[in-house]
């Protein structure tokens, strides 16, 4: 493998069927951006769209835009576009709110559909907001629910008839480990439990088949692989067969059966609109649409293949050039068991990542020891893999990471 050269990777780029998508994104020339799993790159079209929604729709059409420019239905129409990316149907997804808020809604609905059971099964090592939201919800409900934290390999066996809801993230945010959605959902249904899938690290990163897997509920992020922009609205999926069965608890007017009837009392909408609460951020939704529209042209099978190639090459190169410096692979080695990121542990991971970022190779760090590299096949080139590993090698060989400025903690890592 040491026979790899930079030219080898340039040649792969020349033959890459997805290569032209890079032109749909604005990426600083000198930067190798391997953090699209945390904040996706900006679609070129976003700039024009943002200007248009502010100056024409808001500035000129003003309040008529709720009808004229489709503002009122934007969460739904974007939800339909997201549905196409995650294996759902139109009318099953709403683009709205933050992931944590949507999880709160979905979990409440699911628990209401299984009132005879008190156990929520989650992964303790999951991205904390999911667990925090569940803990807050349990307190709020005050009905004696408990969370059973189980990790990776032990999940299937832990799904028993005591479990009301299994709530898992399909791709682990730290390790990139991909859970088997179909097997877990099947097992949960076999014992009478419901499943909520968090797709934050899989929506836009790999083909997802929610309905094929008979998923009950799902939530996910707009600003990671979907490239919706900083703080982009998230999404919530409720399978058609569950809609109208249990209401989510944030019963604002947009979730009412007839919001513009202004009735005194609450009546839940019996469709996906019940997942909304109030007025949605139209500027953010408008920009999110630019990211979603790109996926309308993407073959997700090809995207997955390139993603796995990029990750495989990165692991192979990093291990052959940098293993001597104390990195060890924290992601699954088998490509089918990985999402679209590669993580390594290193005891000085924070400083190493700071030094990399200073050299315009942008990944991120997750405490205590993980450095993460996200591979976004729409705009990451094969040659970026080579250049990133050579940059890492340089930082280690020359001990650049030891500089004091790379050892100072910042608020956001
Ligand atoms: C990024 C991420 C979130 C983000 O939550 P917000 O409420 O949208 O800030 C939630 N869950 C997981 C698993 C994530 O990776």
Distance 227 CA to ligand 1 centre (A): 14
Nearest atom (ligand 1) to Cα of 126: 13
Smallest CA-to-CA distance from 119 within 110, 132, 128, 106 is with 110
Nearest atom (ligand 1) to Cα of 224: 1
Q: Are 111 and 166 in contact (CB under 8 A)?
A: no
Q: Whose CA is nearest to atom 15 of ligand 1?
A: 200
Per-residue pLDDT at 394:
97
Per-residue pLDDT at 412:
79
Distance 413 CA to ligand 1 centre (A): 15
Spatial separation of the C-alpha atoms in residues 36 and 33, rounded to whole Å: 7
* E strands, 34-142, in order: 42-43, 93-95, 119-122
Distance 99 CA to ligand 1 centre (A): 5
Mutate to test the pocket of ligand 1, among 40, 95, 99 (most ligand atoms within 8 A of CB): 99
178 strand-pairing partners: 171
- Within a 10 A sphere around the Cβ of 60, how many other Cβ atoms? 9
Tokens at residue 312, please?
């495989």
| Residues with a known catalytic role | 127, 198, 223-224, 372
CA trace torsion 383, 387, 390, 391 (10° rounding): -160
Mutate to test the pocket of ligand 1, among 102, 106, 205, 221 (most ligand atoms within 8 A of CB): 221
Q: Whose CA is nearest to atom 6 of ligand 1?
A: 99
**Residues contacting residue 409 through CB under 8 Å, at least 6 positions apart:** 350
Mutate to test the pocket of ligand 1, among 36, 102, 127, 232 (most ligand atoms within 8 A of CB): 127
Per-residue pLDDT at 136:
98
Sign of CA dihedral 399, 405, 409, 412: negative
Share of the chain residues as helix, strand and coil, in percent rounded to the nearest 5: 45, 15, 40
Per-residue pLDDT at 2:
59
Stated pTM of the model: 0.97
Q: Are 112 and 164 in contact (CB under 8 A)?
A: no
Most distant CA atoms of the chain, gap in Å: 73
Distance 300 CA to ligand 1 centre (A): 22
Q: Are 135 and 180 in contact (CB under 8 A)?
A: no
Number of helices (H), then strands (E), belonging to the chain: the values are 12, 15
Nearest atom (ligand 1) to Cα of 198: 13
Spatial separation of the C-alpha atoms in residues 269 and 258, rounded to whole Å: 7
Sign of CA dihedral 64, 74, 107, 172: negative
Per-residue pLDDT at 217:
98
Q: Whose CA is nearest to atom 14 of ligand 1?
A: 200
Nearest atom (ligand 1) to Cα of 201: 15
Nearest atom (ligand 1) to Cα of 130: 11
Distance 89 CA to ligand 1 centre (A): 23
Mutate to test the pocket of ligand 1, among 126, 134, 173 (most ligand atoms within 8 A of CB): 173
What value, to the nearest 5°, has the Cα angle with vertex 15 and ends 10 and 17?
125
Concatenated DSSP letters of 207-269: ---TTTTT--EEEE-SSSTT---TT---EEEE-GGGTTTS--S---GGGBS-GGG--SS--B-
Q: Whose CA is nearest to atom 4 of ligand 1?
A: 99
Concatenated DSSP letters of 145-156: -EEEE--GGGHH
Q: Are 371 and 38 in contact (CB under 8 A)?
A: no
Per-residue pLDDT at 319:
96
Q: Which residues line ligand 1 (CB under 6 A)?
A: 98-100, 127, 129-130, 169, 173, 198, 200-201, 221, 234
Distance 100 CA to ligand 1 centre (A): 6
List of the chain residues with pLDDT < 50: 1
């Amino acid at each position: 493998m040491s026979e790899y050269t930079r030219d080898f990777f340039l040649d792969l780029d020349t033959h890459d069927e997805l290569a032209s998508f890079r032109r749909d994104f604005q990426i600083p020339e000198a930067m190798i951006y391997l953090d699209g799993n945390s904040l996706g790159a900006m679609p070129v079209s976003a700039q024009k769209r943002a200007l248009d929604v502010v100056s024409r729709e808001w500035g000129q059409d003003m309040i008529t835009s709720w009808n004229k420019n489709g503002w009122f239905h934007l969460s739904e129409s974007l939800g339909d576009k997201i549905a196409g990316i995650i294996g759902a149907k139109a009318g099953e997804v709403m683009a709205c709110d933050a992931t944590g808020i949507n999880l709160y809604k979905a979990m409440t609905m699911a628990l209401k559909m299984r009132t005879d059971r008190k156990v929520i099964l989650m992964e303790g090592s999951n991205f904390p907001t999911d667990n925090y939201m569940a803990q807050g919800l349990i307190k709020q409900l005050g009905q004696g629910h408990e969370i059973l934290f189980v990790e990776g390999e032990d999940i299937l066996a832990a799904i028993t008839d005591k479990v009301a809801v299994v709530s898992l993230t399909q791709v682990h945010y730290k390790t990139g480990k991909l859970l088997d959605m179909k097997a877990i959902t099947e097992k949960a249904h076999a014992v009478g439990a419901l499943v909520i899938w968090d797709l934050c690290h899989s929506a836009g990163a790999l083909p997802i088949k929610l309905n094929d897997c008979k998923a009950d509920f799902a939530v996910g992020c707009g600003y990671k692989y979907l490239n919706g922009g900083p703080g982009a609205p998230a999404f919530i999926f409720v399978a058609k067969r569950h809609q109208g069965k249990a209401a989510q608890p944030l019963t604002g007017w947009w979730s009412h059966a007839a919001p513009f009837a202004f009735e005194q009392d609450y009546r839940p909408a019996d469709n996906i609109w019940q997942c909304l609460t109030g007025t949605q951020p139209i500027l953010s939704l408008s920009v999110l649409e630019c990211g979603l529209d790109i996926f309308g042209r993407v073959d997700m099978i090809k995207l997955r293949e390139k993603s796995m190639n990029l990750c495989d090459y990165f692991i192979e190169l990093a291990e052959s050039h940098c293993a001597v410096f104390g990195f060890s692979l924290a992601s699954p080695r088998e490509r089918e068991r990985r999402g679209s990121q590669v993580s390594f542990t290193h005891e000085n991971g924070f400083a190493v990542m700071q030094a990399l970022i200073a050299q315009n190779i942008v990944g991120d760090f997750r405490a205590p020891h993980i450095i993460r590299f996200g591979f976004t096949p729409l705009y990451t080139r094969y040659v970026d893999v080579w250049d990133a590993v050579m940059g890492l090698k340089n930082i280690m060989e020359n001990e650049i990471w030891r500089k004091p400025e790379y050892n100072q903690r910042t608020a956001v890592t």
